[in-house]
């Protein structure tokens, strides 16, 4: 909790008092912090697979440099929502959506959006480590090379920087050309994080990144996330409420495809305004 | 009878579906005995099944070798390098060399056939591998599921078309088409080393090019359907990871799908190569069936080992001395050796370039 207070990013400005929690539509706006630019703004977003609505009327703002945790019971649309932020659902047959998602001043679902550069700037880390079938070094380097972010001669340097950043350099510096599949699960996930960070994203979406990891690796990942802000805006989907408490600045509670409530960690866990939120965070539902 | 320990069953007569009758202990005993026997038998039975393919390969090779031995002794190592193929004078008085009877003035050389086999198969691979792998990638990655299923069915139907149909199509349709449309180009290919091979008269409906193309089309379904299954097994998480990094479809193929499936695709290609090396009927119909000369250009008539065996079989049986049959057996032996060498070569290639050193162990070797 104290780390949350120490965050320079999310001001403690509460939701406008004029918006009482009870009757209002769920879309009370998260983080109306005014001063901070919004890395992403979602307005009235609805998504469906083959006609079955998965998420409905979501509105959410992500303040630049903050960590937002998305929590909620299984099947409530958390991951689907996260994946709509960089259009990872597009390739799934039957996916339809409307509403608006903005990345700074760019319409994510607008016409003529360069998906490749959007995904470079809005990166994603998945539930299970998914290294590519190439050497450890190449795993981190491939994104840098694909986007030609630095001259070839500097790629190696950049790879080392990223591996150091995620705390993996010491463990792998003498086997950069080995297969990543020989690393432990936690190390593989850190490698995937390094890979995502290597292309200098502005926003990083994490879909339960520690659910397949042991406690020590989990701590390493959480520590890293805290170090990454405020340079990067982070959204993390998690089943683990304690994790949300530890790492997040703000929490968004999803249920049945709707965004029930958002607020600071303190507010959601100690003073939720919706009954469902209270029941969920106290373990009575979900 | 009561030595079998099943108290709960003993106490519940009739509970086994036949009301009023006591539980039949014998059936339980028989079932257990049967189970025990089956457990013992499994390693033996599976062991036998495992040995069968090896035994068949060895048996075929041994029989062929035995059959071919007189020819091997007479023809010597020069059989592999000589070109002339002359069945001799069938009406002359048979002569005896080292105790082996044969028609006079015979000469058997396999070099043009070996070369023709390798050339046509190589051509087939060059045509089939890129098309198959490309098709497999598109079927898995790009087509909507329903279309993809139909494409799969079509591929499987293609495997089932008899080779004689491919041969007919080759000689009636493809051959004339190629010779007509390539004639203009073939005349203008510069007369320099390497390129010279693609120059010259296109002859007609038969030749190396037609055989190669027909063979290529024949092995496309084999390579494509195997590749498709391999590409399907690439975990979608890795592909999504690459897309989430902002990679293009092509980069996803190059960085994720290809490394993951490379060794399997080489294996599939060897499977296709095996088929191409041994394909008989389609080649016999489209090759031009020339004996004794190697192909001067890609349009030349040629012949392969398999096609020669089938086309010469009649004349071999007409050979009263039986020597030509033995020569054909020797040819068969050469074909087996070539096929095995290609298989080993592919294995070596994979080992050398460590195709799967990086990919996870779960993905085969």
Q: What pLDDT does B15 receive? A: 47
Which of B62, B82, B102 is the last residue before a domain boundary? B102
In terms of domains, do B214 and B80 share one? Answer: no
User: Domain ends where: B83, B102, B121?
Assistant: B102
Give CA–CA dist B236/B242, Å, rounded: 10
How far is Cα B308 from Cα B286, in angstroms, rounded to an integer? Answer: 12
Give the right CATH number for A38-281 from 3.30.420.40, 3.40.50.300, 3.40.50.800, 3.40.50.980.
Answer: 3.40.50.300
Is residue B73 included in any domain, yes or no?
yes
Measured CA to CA, the distance from residue A43 to residue A28 in angstroms comes to: 11
What is the value of ipTM here, to two decimals?
A: 0.81
Looking at residue B359, what is its pLDDT? 56
Record: contact B246-A195, CB cut-off 8 A: no
Peptide bond preceding A86 in cis form (omega within 30 of 0): no
Q: Which residues of B touch A130 (CB under 8 A)?
A: 235, 237-238, 240-241
Q: A145 by DSSP, 3-state: which?
A: helix
Q: Is A135 on the interface with B (CB under 8 A)?
A: yes
Could you tell me the end-to-end alpha-carbon distance of chain B, in angstroms, rounded to an integer? 51
Is the domain of B47 the same as that of B146?
no
B243 touches chain A (CB under 8 A): yes
B43-54 pLDDT, tens digit per residue, is: 999 999 999 999
Per-residue pLDDT, B137: 93
Burial of B235 (0-12, 13-18, 19+ CB in 10 A): middle
Residue B172 within a domain: yes
User: Do B307 and B358 sit in the same domain of this protein?
Assistant: yes
Q: Give the tokens for residue A186.
A: 């936690």
Judgement on whether residues B190 and B118 belong to the same structural domain of the protein: yes
Q: Are residues B131 and B240 in the same domain?
A: yes
More confident residue, B14 or B61: B61
The residue assigned the tokens 């069953």 is B9
Contact criterion met (CB < 8 Å) for A133 and B243: no
Nearest by CB to B358, from A123, A179, A195: name it.
A179
Residue in chain B nearest A125 by alpha carbon: B241
Assigned domain for B7 exists: no
Q: Please report the pLDDT score of residue B23 as a whole number.
A: 60
Strand bridging mode A250-255 / A38-49: unpaired
Report yes or no on B18 lying in a domain.
Answer: no
Assess whether B173 and B224 both reside in one domain.
yes
Alpha-carbon distance of A222 to A227, in angstroms, equals 9
CATH of the domain at B173: 1.10.3720.10
* In a shared domain, residues B95 and B144: no
| pLDDT of A203 over the 90 cut | yes
B192 and B243 share one domain: yes
Give me chain A's average pLDDT, please. Answer: 85
Q: Do B237 and A130 touch (CB under 8 A)?
A: yes
Q: Provide the pLDDT confidence category of residue A286 given band limits of 50, 70 and 90.
A: low
Does B156 lie in the same domain as B40?
no
Highest mean pLDDT: which of A5-9, A112-116, A233-237, B10-14? A233-237
Q: What are the backbone angles phi and psi of residue B320, rounded to the nearest 5°? A: -60, -25
Q: Above 50 in pLDDT, residue A1?
A: no
Domain membership flag for residue B93: yes
HSE, CB side, 13 Å, CA atoms: give it for residue A235.
30
Whether B146 and chain A come into contact, CB under 8 Å, resolves to no
Q: Which two tokens stand for residue B212?
A: 């190669």
Neighbours of B87 (CB within 10 A): 20
Q: How many domains does chain B have?
A: 2
Question: Chain A contact for B148, CB < 8 A?
Answer: no
The single residue listed with the structure tokens 């709509």 is A84
Query: B20-37 pLDDT, tens per residue?
Result: 555 667 788 888 989 888
HSE-CB at A185 with a 13 A cutoff on CA atoms is 13
Contact B246, A199 (CB under 8 A): yes
What is the bridge-based pairing of β-strands A250-255 and A258-264? antiparallel
**Rounded mean pLDDT, B197-222:** 90
What CA–CA distance (Å, rounded) separates A9 from A65? 6
Q: Please give the distance of CA B15 from its chain centroid, rounded to a whole number.
A: 58
In a domain, B92, yes or no: yes
Model confidence at B363, pLDDT cuts 50, 70, 90, reads: very low
Q: Which residue has better confidence, B119 or B146?
A: B119
Output the six-digit token pair for A132: 């590519």
Q: Which helix (H) or strand (E) holds A46?
A: strand A38-49
Q: What is the largest CA-CA distance in chain B?
A: 97
Q: Per the structure block, which two tokens stand in for B339?
A: 């096929």
Between CA B339 and CA B336 the distance in angstroms is: 5
Q: Which of B56, B85, B102 corresponds to the end of one domain?
A: B102
Q: Is the pLDDT of residue B84 over 50?
A: yes
Average pLDDT value over all residues in chain B? 86
**In chain A, what residues touch B235 (CB-CB under 8 Å)?**
130
Which tokens go with A243?
């994790």
Q: How far apart are CA B69 and CA A223, in angstroms?
A: 75
* Banded pLDDT at A120 (limits 50, 70, 90): very high
Q: What is the pTM of this model?
A: 0.78
CA A38 to chain centre: 15
Residue B5 inside a domain? The answer is: no
Ramachandran bin of B194, using left for φ above 0, alpha for ψ from -120 to 50, beta for the remaining angles: left
Residue A7 banded pLDDT, cuts 50, 70, 90:
very low
Do B137 and B98 lie in one domain? The reply is no
Of B329, B294, B328, the closest CA to residue B308 belongs to B328
Q: Evaluate whether residue B1 is within a structural domain.
A: no
Alpha carbon distance A107, B189 (integer Å): 55
Instruction: Please tell me the distance in Å from A182's CA to the nearest CA on chain B.
Output: 8
Residues B72, B159: one domain? no
The pLDDT assigned to A229 comes to 86
Domain with B71, as residue range(s), is 28-102
Mean pLDDT of all residues in A99-109: 91
């Amino acid at each position: 909790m104290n780390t949350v207070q120490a965050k320079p990013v999310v001001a403690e400005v509460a939701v406008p008092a004029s918006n009482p929690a009870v009757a209002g539509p769920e879309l009370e706006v998260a983080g109306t912090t005014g001063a901070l630019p919004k890395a992403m703004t979602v307005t009235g977003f609805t998504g469906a697979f083959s006609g079955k609505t998965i998420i409905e009327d979501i509105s959410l703002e992500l303040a630049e440099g903050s960590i937002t945790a998305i929590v909620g019971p299984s099947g409530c649309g958390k991951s689907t929502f996260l994946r709509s932020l960089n259009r990872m659902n597009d390739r799934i047959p039957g996916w339809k959506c409307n509403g608006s998602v903005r990345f700074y001043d760019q319409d994510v679902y607008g016409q003529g959006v360069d998906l490749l550069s959007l995904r470079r700037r809005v990166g994603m880390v998945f539930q299970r480590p998914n290294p590519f079938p190439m050497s450890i070094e190449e795993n981190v380097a491939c994104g840098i090379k694909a986007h030609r972010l630095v001259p070839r001669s500097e790629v190696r340097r950049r790879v080392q920087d990223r591996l150091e950043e995620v705390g993996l350099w010491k463990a792998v510096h003498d086997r950069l050309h080995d297969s990543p599949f020989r690393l432990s699960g936690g190390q593989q996930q850190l490698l995937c994080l390094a890979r995502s960070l290597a292309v200098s994203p502005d926003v990083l979406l994490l879909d339960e990144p520690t659910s397949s990891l042991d406690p020590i690796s989990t701590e390493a990942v959480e520590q890293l996330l805290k170090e990454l802000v405020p340079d990067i805006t982070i959204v993390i989907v998690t089943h683990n409420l304690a994790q949300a408490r530890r790492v997040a600045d703000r929490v968004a509670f999803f249920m049945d495809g709707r965004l029930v409530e958002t607020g600071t960690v303190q507010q959601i866990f100690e003073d939720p305004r919706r009954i469902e939120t209270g029941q969920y965070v106290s373990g009575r539902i979900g | 009878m009561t030595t079998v320990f099943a108290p709960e069953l003993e106490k519940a007569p009739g509970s086994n579906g036949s009301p009023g009758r006591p539980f039949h202990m014998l059936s339980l005993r028989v079932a257990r005995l049967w189970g025990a026997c089956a457990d013992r038998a499994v390693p033996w039975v599976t062991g036998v099944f495992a040995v069968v393919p090896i035994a068949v390969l060895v048996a075929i090779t041994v029989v062929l070798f035995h059959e071919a031995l007189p020819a091997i002794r007479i023809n010597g190592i020069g059989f592999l390098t000589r070109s002339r193929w002359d069945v001799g004078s069938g009406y002359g008085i048979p002569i005896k060399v080292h105790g082996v009877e044969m028609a006079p003035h015979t000469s058997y050389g396999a070099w043009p056939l070996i070369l023709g086999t390798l050339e046509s198969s190589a051509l087939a691979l060059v045509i089939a591998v890129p098309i198959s792998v490309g098709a497999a990638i598109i079927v898995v990655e790009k087509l909507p599921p329903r279309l993809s299923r139909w494409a799969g069915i079509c591929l499987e139907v293609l495997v089932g078309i008899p080779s004689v149909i491919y041969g007919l199509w080759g000689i009636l349709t493809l051959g004339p088409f190629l010779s007509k449309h390539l004639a203009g180009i073939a005349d203008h290919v510069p007369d320099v080393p390497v390129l010279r091979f693609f120059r010259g008269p296109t002859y007609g409906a038969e030749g190396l090019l037609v055989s190669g193309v027909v063979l290529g089309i024949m092995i496309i379904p084999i390579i494509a359907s195997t590749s498709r299954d391999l590409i399907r097994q690439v975990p979608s998480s890795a592909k999504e990871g690459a897309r989430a990094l902002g990679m293009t479809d092509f980069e996803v193929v190059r960085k994720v799908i290809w490394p993951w499936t490379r060794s399997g695709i080489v294996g599939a290609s060897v499977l296709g190569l095996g088929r191409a090396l041994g394909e008989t009927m389609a080649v016999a119909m489209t090759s031009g069936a020339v004996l004794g000369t190697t192909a001067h250009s890609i349009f030349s008539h040629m012949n392969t080992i398999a096609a020669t065996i089938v086309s010469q079989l009649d004349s071999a049986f007409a050979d009263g001395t039986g020597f030509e049959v033995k020569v054909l057996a020797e040819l068969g032996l050469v074909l087996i050796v070539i096929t095995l060498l290609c298989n080993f070569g592919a294995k070596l290639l994979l080992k050398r370039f460590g195709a799967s050193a990086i990919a996870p162990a779960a993905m085969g070797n």
